[in-house]
Structure 1
Amino acid sequence: MMLSVLRRGAGVAAITGVLVLGMASCGTERATTVEAQPTATATTRPTSDQNMSTVTLRRVGGVAGFNDVLKVESDGTATLTSRGRDAFTCRVKPEVLARVTSAAEAVEQAPESKPKTPSTTKAWPSSPPVVDQLNFFLTVGDREIRMSQVDKDDRTVRDLFTVMNDILTSASMLRAGEASDAGACTR
């Protein structure tokens, strides 16, 4: 969208410049010349990390009753909130943030796939539900994706789930004091 606005703005500026120059050349001798001002080009694109939407991973359920939310911002700040605990913030390492950014962009640009639906002939979709099963939800922009509904061959979404889970694990270890530099995050 930003690209089309820049193109539209550049086109309007170019047409305005041509019209002003054309009117100046057709007018009297007192007409002043108008120098064309440089316009922004749409060929340069801001770096990906400036455009990345907040990416959120939510983990709920399990025997322990998890209710964790990890939010990763475009500046590399990761905030982990959990039931009954204070929020914990860490910094995502640049190489890991690059993976998040790349995977998030791929998910945002990919067409939404239809979620897996249970078979009408079987009692259970693939297996019976598991008591206290862990459920993972990924939110990128305005899309929320449930891990259990992602096709096993969908590498785009699975890659983002993997790197976000790595950050969640790293932030959990740092919060617990188990490490000072736990893989994907630093204090």
Structure 2
Amino acid sequence: MAASVSCSWLTLPSQMRKLSLTSSSSSLSISNSASLSFSRNLSHPLFSQGNCLSLSTVQRRASVVCEAAPKKVDSAVKRARQAEKRRVYNKARKSEIKTRTKKVLEALEVLKKKQDAQAEEILSIEKLIGEAYSIIDKAVRVGTLHRNTGANRKSRLARRKKAVEIHHGWYTPTPEASV
């Protein structure tokens, strides 16, 4: 498909240079205030053919300016600043909870695999569990975690500890009385 393309340079003292390209199916004009519209029919080889200037020789004085977002109100700026501070703080707390939980679970796993484990070895793990509980409770108190999430995480640690105790025979669950 042969599209006729014409290029013209206008030099006006009061205006910026203007490049206008017209095709049979679409038009492209670059100026200080005009918007840009591109077409699939116009491509780089068309610009460099015939009596038209190539893109590499065009001086680009007019720039495309994106519309700037409206200026934020001062209260919105402060809210954004506070939210970022809280996000970083909460991320640190959650990371600490995950680290403590992982340490407890790994220690329980090592104890479970140990054949000649003693009941006194669970005391060091109970200390780790207590520290994890403390961190989880603080996170719930300041609002980093929901209280149900905190309860679920503490429950998970307690269940794993009980499973290790049952595995080694240090704890025997009492059968529930049927009614």
Q: Report if TM-score (shorter chain) is over 0.5.
A: no
More helix by share: 2
Q: TM-score, normalised by structure 1?
A: 0.22
More strand by share: 1
Higher relative contact order (CA 8 A, sep 6+): 1
Q: TM-score, normalised by structure 2?
A: 0.23
